[in-house]
Structures are given as structure tokens and as C-alpha cells.
Structure 1
Amino acid sequence: MCRCPFHDDKNPSMKVDRRFHCFGCGADGDVIDFVSRLEGISPKEAALLLARAFSVPYEDKGSPSRNRRPHPRQETPEQQFKRMERYCLRVLCDYRNRLGRWKRDYAPKGPEDDWHPLFVEALQKQDYVEYLLDTLLSPDMEERAALIASYGKEVRNLERRMAELDAGAAAGRDGHHRGRPAAPER
């Protein structure tokens, strides 16, 4: 539940899950409807905005008449920076959450147990990822810009690795399995 941004809401009246619904003003829809209404743009523009914001590849297969329309405006350098900043923050938060789960779920049960590679990774990377997140949340714009420029490729590699781990888990294999069942991802 949250306060609805579409009317003067003093108390939380909007329920948000896969869809949103405001019990106060009746606003309802999916993520595209939400962004469209919030930004005051068409649903198609909202979908394109979301695709760009979350680096989702898309292909516009519109009719030939649509191809003659002007293309959406190019992002300014500031918009590109903000998009990349949000992207890095999202990926690093996801990774930090996984590290916490791995540290808990893959911890050895006894002194004779082997250390699971994901447990070791959690021990090695947790402080580093916390440092990167602290820097991204810093009020110093130059620090944030330097981090994004320096670690952007590493963040993309992290996202790719997490997707590969998810695909391996979905296929029923854990590339690092060492004789005990893997704890489920939460």
C-alpha cells in the first residue's frame, strides 16, 4: 500500500503488486499505464521509456506510416547518466541481496563441511558491493559519475552472471553443487 500520486492522498490508498489500484480515485492498470499516467505520455511512449530505463531490447515493428513519424527525442547526457545510475543501483542491490542469501543459505553446517563457492563469493564480495552502493548514494556527483564510468562494464557482467545463475537454477543445475542440495533462491 502507498499514497496515490494521482490525487491528493493523505493516507495510503493505492495497492501495488503486479498491477496498481487506488481505492481513493479508482486509478488502475499495469506498469505501462502507471508510467503513462505519471509522466503524462502515451502508453507507447511509456513502454519505450521503460524499455530504455531498464535496458530491455525492443524492435518497433510499426506500420510504414509509423516509420515516418519523428523518432522519440534523444536522451540528454544528464538523462543517460540518471538511467545508468538507476541501472547500476538496481543491479548492485540485487547482487547484494543475493550475497546475503548465499551467505546464509550456503554456510557450512559444520567444521568438516566444504565451503560452497557461492558462500565464499558472498564473504569476499559483500563489503565491496556495500562500498559501491554507498558511493552511488553519495551526494557527491563526481564520485557517482566516476563510479559509473569505472564500474559500468563490471555491473553489466554482474547482471549477466546473475541471469546465467538463474537460467542454470531453472534448468535444475547448480554449476557449483558440491554434494548437498542447493538452497532455493528467495
Structure 2
Amino acid sequence: MNVFEAVKQSITTRQAAEFYGFRVNRTGKIICPFHSDKNPSMKVDNRFHCFGCGADGDVIDFVSKLYGISSLEGAKKLALDFGISYDSKSVIRKLKVIKQQKSDAQKYAEAENRVFRVLSDYYYLLKRWKVQYAPCIEDENWHPRFTEALHRISHIEYLLDILVFGSAEEKALIVMEYGKEVAVLEQRISEFIISDTGSSYADSCGDAGVQECGRSQGKPDIKREWQRKEHDQELFDRIAI
């Protein structure tokens, strides 16, 4: 039996209130400690309810609120003060299970952020390749990375725009359709960073600009940066017109 179960089965809120110094009148009420109460307005029995401020809960809620501590700390305090034994390991196991469980919304948010991060890294890598591997003379054979940059950069930019400005349905479709490709891209980018000779990924951004190198600057809020880029482009277009 965990501490929550042990405490709730062993102690009533009235017993706890009396133990911590509250005087219970003949109608089973005490002065409410949670608001400026002049006449007893909190009913205490197995649970508690204040008819003045609406505070309500069980014995653990009462002690937690009274001392400004968490529910777990409140339950442990009651168990210690009243000498109640419990299985401490069961509490740890329960907390681990709760921590490990993620809602569908959390899982989707993580997946969407991952897709955006990887595609953004790839986009800035393509921009770099487009400059770094551009042919020096007209008849020079194109480097495969330059060719890849020309073929893919517009499409990747389109996907990133959807992930920032698109509807929820459009974003979800991108996450579903490109999940596997993103995993491959993430591995490929990592391998490129490791195998790239001469300098680190951050130091070798060259003419593409260090600040545009996907991972080099960490990008604390990469979606906001993308929105700013789009705003600047719109402003430029208006001026050009």
C-alpha cells in the first residue's frame, strides 16, 4: 500500500485538523485557514469543505494546502506525524510510471519539433552547399552536393513554411509523410558533421554565413527566426514593387 492509500485509509481530515491545533466545534466546523474567517465555516469530517471560500478536498489536500507543500510531501508528513507505515517503493514506482507516460499531444509536439529541426538543419546545409560547391567555370562538372542543393532547397523551404504558417492538418500531414525521411536526413547530417574534413561544421559555413549554419548557433527559437525571415522577405518584396 502506498503512502496516499495508507494515509487516506487511516486518518480523517477532522483528526488531522485537531492534531494540528484546530478547535472543532459541536457542528464539526473549524475556522478556515485558507481565507479571513471569523466564524467557523469549514466543515471537517473524512473530507473538508469551506462554505466561505469553497476550499474542498481530502486530508492530504488539507495538509498540503495548510503547509504549502506538494501532495506527496503532505502525505509523507501525515504518515510521519501519525506513525503510519507504507510501502515507499510503490510511490517511487508510481511516480516513474506517471513520468514515463506521455500524452498523444506531447508525442506529436515532439515529433513536429523534430521534423522542423532536421528540415531546418538540412535547409541551411543546402544553402551552404549551393555557395560552397558552385562551379567556378561555366563548363565545370557540377558537384553532387551543388546539384542536390539546386534540386531540393525550394521544396525544403516550402515544407518549413507549412510547419510554421500552415494549419494543424497541414502540419500533421507533413509530420506523417516525412517522418521516415527525416530520420534518414538526421543520420546523414550527423555523419556529414563527423566526416567533414578541414574544420567543424560551425566553422566551415563559408559564404553561406555562420549564423545560417543549422546547428552551429543552436537556434534557441528556430521557428521564430523562420517567421522573421518570411517577414523580411515580404518587406523586401513590397519595396521592390
Larger RCO (alpha carbons 8 Å, 6+ apart): 2
Q: Percent identity?
A: 38
Aligned: 1:124 with 2:151: yes
Query: Residue 70 of structure 1 corresponds to which residue in structure 2?
Result: 95
Compute the displacement of 1:65 (Å): 11
Compute the displacement of 1:114 (Å): 1.7
Q: Give the length in aligned residue pairs.
A: 113
Deviations 1:93-130 (A, max 9, x none): 11110110100111000012221111001001001101
Match of 1:161 among 173, 182, 188: 188
Query: Residue 184 of structure 1 corresponds to which residue in structure 2?
Result: 204
Q: Distance in 2 between matches of 1:66 and 1:160?
A: 39
Q: Distance in 1 between matches of 2:174 and 2:165?
A: 11
Query: Residue 128 of structure 2 corresponds to which residue in structure 1?
Result: 101
Compute the displacement of 1:67 (Å): 7.2
Compute the displacement of 1:74 (Å): 1.3
Which amino acid letter does the alignment assign opposite residue 184 of structure 1?
S
Compute the displacement of 1:69 (Å): 6.3
Match of 2:137 among 79, 96, 110: 110
Largest Rg, 1 or 2: 2
Q: Distance in 2 between matches of 1:112 and 1:159?
A: 33
Q: 1:146 to 1:109 in 2, by over 3 A?
A: same
Deviations 1:40-90 (A, max 9, x none): xxxxxxxxxxxxxxxxxxxxxxxx999746311411111111111111111
Q: Distance in 2 between matches of 1:67 and 1:115?
A: 60
Query: Residue 116 of structure 2 corresponds to which residue in structure 1?
Result: 89
Q: Distance in 2 between matches of 1:141 and 1:86?
A: 13
Q: 1:169 to 1:88 in 2, by over 3 A?
A: same
Compute the displacement of 1:139 (Å): 3.9
Compute the displacement of 1:158 (Å): 0.6
Which amino acid letter does the alignment assign opposite residue 142 of structure 1?
E
Q: Secondary structure at the match of 2:120?
A: helix
Equivalent residue runs for 1:133-144 within 5 Å: 133-144=160-171
| Structure 1 gap segments, 5+ residues each | 1-63, 173-182
Say what the alpha-carbon RMSD is for the aligned residues. Answer: 2.6
Equivalent residue runs for 1:29-44 within 5 Å: none
Which amino acid letter does the alignment assign opposite residue 184 of structure 2?
N
Q: Distance in 2 between matches of 1:66 and 1:154?
A: 41
Query: Residue 61 of structure 2 corresponds to which residue in structure 1?
Result: none
Q: Secondary structure at the match of 2:151?
A: helix
Q: Distance in 2 between matches of 1:157 and 1:66?
A: 40
| Structure 2 gap segments, 5+ residues each | 1-88, 211-241
Q: Secondary structure at the match of 1:70?
A: helix
Q: Distance in 1 between matches of 2:166 and 2:134?
A: 36
Compute the displacement of 1:156 (Å): 1.0
